[in-house]
Amino acid sequence: MFTGREFSKESESYYWRTLHKNDLKDSEAGRLLFNRGFYLGAQFAMRTSSELSPHIARFVEFMMWLTEREDSDE
């Protein structure tokens, strides 16, 4: 999970890359909108991954069970 400093660093990095990639000019309104979008995207990613985690854990458990089974042919 991001700490405040790590989140700020990542946001800053993506912001400058977005400006450079799209040949945009730096503006306060653009910065505010970018930060809001980045924050909402991070929230969505956290919520989605936390909703999926029980299913992923069950899948991993199932795969472990499959690989630990002994073959009945031997």
Residue 3 has pLDDT above 70, yes or no: no
pLDDT score at 70 = 65
Q: How far is CA 49 from CA 3, 7, 41, 73, in A?
A: 18, 18, 12, 39
Place of tokens 């400058």: 16
Q: What is the pLDDT of residues 17-58, one digit of tens each?
A: 877 787 777 777 777 778 888 888 888 888 888 888 888 888
Task: Locate all alpha helices (DSSP H) within 1-74, ordered by sequence.
Answer: 4-22, 28-68
Distance CA 31, CA 43 (A): 18
User: What pTM does this model have?
Assistant: 0.47
Q: Is the pLDDT of residue 74 over 70?
A: no
**For position 2, what pLDDT does the model report?**
56
Quick one: DSSP state of residue 72?
T
Name the residue with tokens 């970018």: 34
